[in-house]
Amino acid sequence: MKPNNKQFVLSVLLIFVINIFSINAQEIQQRRGVQVVSPEINGDNSVTFRLYSENAQSVAVSGSWMGFGQNLEMKKGDDGVWSAKTAVLEPSMYHYNLILDGVSILDPRNPKAMRDGTRYASTLIIPGEGSETFEVNDVPHGSINKVWYDSPSLDLTRRMYVYTPPGYEGSKEKYPVLYLLHGGGGDEDAWSSLGRANYILDNLIASGKAKPMIVVMTNGNPNQKAAITETQPIPSDNPLIIATAKFPTSLVNDVIPYVEDHYRVIANSSNRAIAGLSMGCLHTQIASLNNPEMFKYMGLFSLGLHPNDPNLEEIMKPLIAAYDANLETLKKNYKLFYIGCGTEDFVYEGVQNLRKKLDDNNFEYLYNETGGGHTWANWRTYLSDYAPRLFK
């Protein structure tokens, strides 16, 4: 049956409307930058960043592989796409922001992002040797549980993350425990989202380099119930000093008893380790020195002794007092005292002060000096080196 003229005209009109809509949709997609690829990892491990903006006056990239305050300027093409290409980057995980007319933004074409306290940034991983330890590889994976617990020492109900190794749920085995502490500005989310601690442990355990272990990632800010994305911090005049004074006590009196009551752990010092970065390194030293028979393994990432720094005087007082009072007792009980620091880290001098104090007291330690500064790239490296040495 042949269509009549009216049906024919309607069909032609419908096809015309569909074509016009399709063309307009493509134009809208292109104008919105859908065709832009960013970041693009090139074959030589350089990276190209792109951003579509017809009206921007300036666009730059600020990345963790750069020196402090340095930016990579982007250039605008005739199509309205700004772009810039980095030098060759070493395999690692990096974070970055785009600076659009002086305003720091996430890369709108990159779905991968991280939070470090109140700061957000886009992320990328350059594959290769150096990244394999923390990538999501085809190995058995452990679980991370977000656990709320009572903290009588702080008069709060608080949250921590607890990693259990592959096979934990289906076994009756008991495991050693690593207490892993974050730095200033971070919270209980930091070591999994930024440090990728769970993937590091998954990969180390799968390769037989590390023993299966439970990893407890706490919130070291005693004025917080949990990460700021979940709860409001309790107002505090100087949260860092309060953290120094209160959190190590809460760790020993509240966190460890809860873990040993609620998880299948080997509850003795030979199967109990502690490590932390920056502020968490301060907490690690205070907790282990004031309880010298509690931990056989201590990991110090990027913090030492800064006795002559007036900005750190109040923070250093309890740490120096702990060394003076308990270093000799600790010497009789520990198995591993691990120190890691980058040569460009602003705490480098303080770490050398710590090493001198330990040397003067004939205290043996393992020192891992790397390049770079006060960065997650280093802290992931230290954890990857520290964890295989535990519970041997």
- Which pLDDT score is estimated for 20? 44
φ/ψ (deg, to 5) at 384: -65, -25
Q: Are residues 242 and 115 in the same domain?
A: no
Extract the tokens encoding 274: 């502690």
Kindly report, residue by residue over 344-353, the tens digit of the pLDDT: 999 999 999 9
Q: Are residues 277 and 195 in the same domain?
A: yes
Going 18 to 19 to 24 to 30, the CA torsion angle's sign is: positive
Q: Which helix (H) or strand (E) holds 124?
A: strand 119-126
How many whole angstroms separate alpha carbon 96 and alpha carbon 310? 32
Of 66, 101, 126, the domain-final residue: 126
How many whole angstroms separate alpha carbon 238 and alpha carbon 108? 36
HEC per residue, 246-312: HHHHHHHHHHHHHHHHHCCECCCHHHEEEEEECHHHHHHHHHHHHCCCCCCEEEEECCCCCCCCCCC
Q: What is the mean pLDDT of residues 44-68?
A: 94
How many whole angstroms separate alpha carbon 316 and alpha carbon 303? 11
117: alpha, beta or left? (left if phi > 0; alpha if psi -120 to 50): left
User: 116 to each of 14, 80, 183, 368, how far by Cα in Å?
Assistant: 52, 32, 10, 25
Q: What is the CATH number of the domain that holds 67?
A: 2.60.40.10
Domain membership of residue 187 (yes or no) is yes
Domain membership of residue 32 (yes or no) is no
Q: Are residues 91 and 172 in the same domain?
A: no
Q: Is the pLDDT of residue 29 over 60?
A: no
Q: List CB contacts of 225: < 8 A, sequence separation 6 or more.
A: 156, 157, 158, 159, 231
Domain membership of residue 21 (yes or no) is no
Q: Is the pLDDT of residue 5 over 80?
A: no
Q: Are residues 178 and 320 in the same domain?
A: yes
User: Residue 65 sits in which domain range?
Assistant: 40-126
Domain membership of residue 349 (yes or no) is yes
- Coil, strand, or helix at residue 187? coil
- Which pLDDT score is estimated for 27? 43
Going 322 to 324 to 326 to 332, the CA torsion angle's sign is: positive
pLDDT > 70: percent of the chain: 91
Q: What is the mean pLDDT of the chain?
A: 90
Q: List CB contacts of 13: < 8 A, sequence separation 6 or more.
A: none
- Which pLDDT score is estimated for 113? 95
Q: Confirm if 291 and 314 have CB atoms less than 8 A apart.
A: no
Q: Are residues 212 and 184 in the same domain?
A: yes
Q: Is the pLDDT of residue 17 over 80?
A: no
- Which pLDDT score is estimated for 244? 83
- Which pLDDT score is estimated for 22? 39
Number of structural domains found in the chain: 2
Q: What is the mean pLDDT of residues 70-78?
A: 95
Q: List CB contacts of 205: < 8 A, sequence separation 6 or more.
A: 140, 142, 165, 166, 211, 212, 213
Q: What is the mean pLDDT of residues 205-212?
A: 98
Q: Are residues 323 and 190 in the same domain?
A: yes
Q: Are residues 104 and 175 in the same domain?
A: no
Domain membership of residue 198 (yes or no) is yes
Q: Are residues 108 and 242 in the same domain?
A: no
pLDDT confidence bin for 298, thresholds 50/70/90? very high
Q: Are residues 289 and 215 in the same domain?
A: yes
Extract the tokens encoding 248: 């190590």
pLDDT confidence bin for 240, thresholds 50/70/90? confident
Whole-number CA gyration radius for the chain: 26
Kindly report, residue by residue over 372-385, the tens digit of the pLDDT: 999 999 999 999 99
- Which pLDDT score is estimated for 216? 98
| Helix intervals (H) in the chain | 5-31, 190-193, 197-206, 239-250, 256-262, 279-290, 313-331, 348-360, 376-386
Q: Facing residues of 64 across strands?
A: none
Q: Are residues 97 and 182 in the same domain?
A: no
Q: What is the CATH number of the domain that holds 333?
A: 3.40.50.1820
- Which pLDDT score is estimated for 355? 97
How many whole angstroms separate alpha carbon 391 and alpha carbon 90? 31
Q: Is the pLDDT of residue 288 over 70?
A: yes
Q: Are residues 304 and 255 in the same domain?
A: yes
Extract the tokens encoding 15: 């096809």
Domain membership of residue 71 (yes or no) is yes
Q: Are residues 315 and 245 in the same domain?
A: yes
Domain membership of residue 20 (yes or no) is no
Strands 143-151 and 113-116: what pairing? unpaired
Q: Is the pLDDT of residue 34 over 50?
A: no
Q: List CB contacts of 383: < 8 A, sequence separation 6 or more.
A: 180, 195, 197, 200, 275, 299, 301
Of 65, 95, 126, the domain-final residue: 126
- Which pLDDT score is estimated for 62? 97
- Which pLDDT score is estimated for 98? 98
- Which pLDDT score is estimated for 242? 80
Domain membership of residue 120 (yes or no) is yes
Kindly report, residue by residue over 177-200, the tens digit of the pLDDT: 999 999 999 999 999 999 999 999
Q: Confirm if 321 and 315 have CB atoms less than 8 A apart.
A: no
pTM exceeds cut of 0.85 = yes
Tokens 């569909």 found at: 18
Of 91, 126, 161, the domain-final residue: 126
